[in-house]
Amino acid sequence: MSYYKLYLAAIICMISFTINANSWERIADYGGPATDGCISFEIDGFGYVGGGPKEKNFWRYDPSKNTWEKMPDIGGGERGWAFHFVIDGIAYVGGGDPTGTSGTLKKDFWKFDPTTKKWTQLRDFPGGPRDACFNFSINGKGYIGGGFSGAGGGVHKDVWEYNPKNDSWTYITDYPEEGILFSNAIVVDGRVFVGLGNLTFGVAEYITWYEFNPSTYQFTPKRSFTGAARQTAVAYTMKGKVYIVGGQSQYTNTYTDCYEYDPKTNNWKLMTGLNLPYKNTAWSCGFTIGEDIFFGTGVTLPDFQFSRNFYKYSFGEKPKEPKLTVDQYVLDFGTKKVNETAKQTVQLYNTGEAPLVIDLIKLVDDDYMAFSIPDSYEGVTIQPNGVLDLEVTFNPKIIAEDFYAMIIIESNATNAATELVELFGQSEAAGSPSMTLSVQSIDYGKVELTENGTSQFTISNIGDADLIIKSIGIEGEDNPYFGFTHPTNTTIQPGENLIVQTTFAPTETRVYNASIIIETNDTEHEMVEIQLTGEGVSTPNSVRDFDLRDYVALFPNPAISQLNINLNNLHIGQIEKMHISDLNGIVLTESISVKGDKLEYTFNLSGLANGIYFLVCEIGGQRYSTKFSIVR
């Protein structure tokens, strides 16, 4: 191991327990297992967390000691996403999903006395089995609303009031949406706010936000949430404002951002300095103690990785400091071909409140000189909330199973003065394309003079590198009578095919021969040939009886892009209209009507490329054609 590796390994040990970015401080992990859907609240300066699907653990957090203490299991057993609130220092917990399968949910209701550490069962919730409700308490009463009743039970919008004095529930009103689950409710300075959440799986989450009056039971719309619509977020109140943190949408995206709501101004604001330092933010939980908010547990989406992590953010005054966050600490370039170049980017964020100065960015332990970084980053200043993109290049020159290097980043950041990014890669011999053709020759057989013969061939790449078609052309004396569709994509990836359509358009009764020449980057087949042959034959008698050579004489003049036509005076009265079409019968010009005894007509050819075309004449309601060529 090199000197740098020893030195940097020591640094890793020293910084692994430092405060994370955005002033969130990693505290002791939750005492229970990694989970989500917990209940959480604060009583007398302690935080309480417990439950989750298939879990009945219940723990108390002591902020003065940064420790978790096991409490008696939640009354009634396992329950995830249970409703809960605190009234006069007593916690009330009910409902929930015991298994996390949305099968049979609970409706039982319990209270917990933190003084005696005992659970006592109360009357069941009369609204039936329920989880995913919003809940809060105010003026000595508890409230829950909405939620889910399990398979076949649907999503609810009813709101209930609980009176602890007589252990009674009363239905009071409906939430002003079709239904609501996994929403947020928070009490700030005697005012209640409820919003966000979801109606059902696959339906977009809400951004609506309401104020609830516990005296009149009325919901009043407030300014809608300005962040991404979400559910399962955690809500806090601090210094007269509301904070919405984390959450998820559509069971595929988790959020790490934070938004502040000011009830006085009815305005929302994105709090970039409160971004969470980890992504397990779906169905997380949290509580507030003094000027500190706590956030933890939860799961990532869509891969469902559960967490025991817990974090603290303090709203107390702190000096402005620069803080460095690196978006990834390992770059794995995988296996690349020798001399192939690959690039990845490491982003350096200043999540502090003071300018961040990069003192050193250095590449070390690159024994094979396979990695590189620009040398223009030292001395760069990243302003608060700014980002610096560090581009890393991997370009192996030899075949090796393992390439390794490390980037050292030194700065004035107070959270991590030195950061390390490890680089990995492998290489293998460069591949090569290999072309095969579906045919070696194409015989169109006998094709009538008024018809087109069609065929196709396939170019396949059976190699392990891109096959590039440099050119395709037709050579030979009869090349004007054969054609093909020029491919729009001239690069064929390994294992892929390219189909080329071809045509044969004879103008005389004879045998035609030409060759398609294909040039590629396949060193073993740089130039290949497909032979073309076909025979032009006369049209059937019904058409031959109207041989247009008896009717018209064509004089193409490509120099001035004109086709001059002289009509046979003997048949002038039989031709009604004329137009020009391509070999596929597509009309390319407007029709010219033959009038009176006029014998000379002209078509403008300026819009037509070199090639073979038809002059089409209408005689007695039928269409007959003769070919002509444009060669400039």
CATH number at residue 164: 2.120.10.80
Is residue 490 in a domain?
Answer: yes
The whole-number average pLDDT for the span 91-101 is: 95
| Domain span including residue 548 | 544-630
Q: Evaluate whether 134 touches 197 at the Cβ level (below 8 Å).
A: yes
> 93 and 205 share a domain?
yes
Distance set, CA 208 to CA 61, 244, 306, 478 (Å): 33, 13, 29, 74
What pLDDT does 316 receive?
75
What pLDDT does 8 receive?
40
Considering only residues 563 and 237, tell me which one the structure prediction assigns the higher pLDDT.
237
What pLDDT does 318 receive?
66
Q: Which two tokens stand for residue 5?
A: 């590796």
> 234 and 289 share a domain?
yes
What pLDDT does 622 receive?
76
Residue showing tokens 């003049």: 557
Q: How many structural domains compose the chain?
A: 4
Q: Structure pTM?
A: 0.51
Residue showing tokens 């609970």: 106
Considering only residues 263 and 538, tell me which one the structure prediction assigns the higher pLDDT.
263
What pLDDT does 572 receive?
61
Report pLDDT digits (tens) over 15-31. 333 333 347 999 999 99
Query: What whole-number percentage of the chain has pLDDT above 90?
Result: 69
Distance set, CA 141 to CA 91, 169, 277, 549, 573 (Å): 12, 10, 36, 103, 102
> 409 and 469 share a domain?
no
The whole-number average pLDDT for the span 574-581 is: 86
Last residue within a domain, chosen from 407, 428, 449: 428
Last residue within a domain, chosen from 486, 518, 537: 537
CATH number at residue 367: 2.60.40.10
Indicate left, alpha or beta for 620 from its phi (over 0: left) and psi (-120 to 50: alpha): left
What pLDDT does 380 receive?
92
What pLDDT does 569 receive?
67
The whole-number average pLDDT for the span 289-298 is: 96
What pLDDT does 571 receive?
62
> 239 and 354 share a domain?
no
The whole-number average pLDDT for the span 217-241 is: 96
> 55 and 155 share a domain?
yes
Q: Is the peptide bond before 302 cis (omega within 30 degrees of 0)?
A: yes
Average pLDDT, the chain: 89
Report pLDDT digits (tens) over 420-477. 999 999 998 877 899 999 999 999 999 988 788 999 999 999 988 889 999 999 999 9
Is residue 10 in a domain?
Answer: no
> 337 and 233 share a domain?
no
Last residue within a domain, chosen from 373, 401, 428: 428
> 493 and 597 share a domain?
no
Distance set, CA 180 to CA 94, 130, 135, 145, 196 (Å): 18, 12, 12, 8, 9
pLDDT above 80 (res 2): no
> 413 and 470 share a domain?
no
67: number of Cβ within 10 Å: 13
- The distance between the two most distant Cα atoms of the chain, rounded to a whole number of Å, is 121
pLDDT above 70 (res 533): yes
Which residues have C-beta within 8 Å of that of residue 583, sequence separation ≥ 6?
452, 483, 503, 505, 611, 612, 613, 614
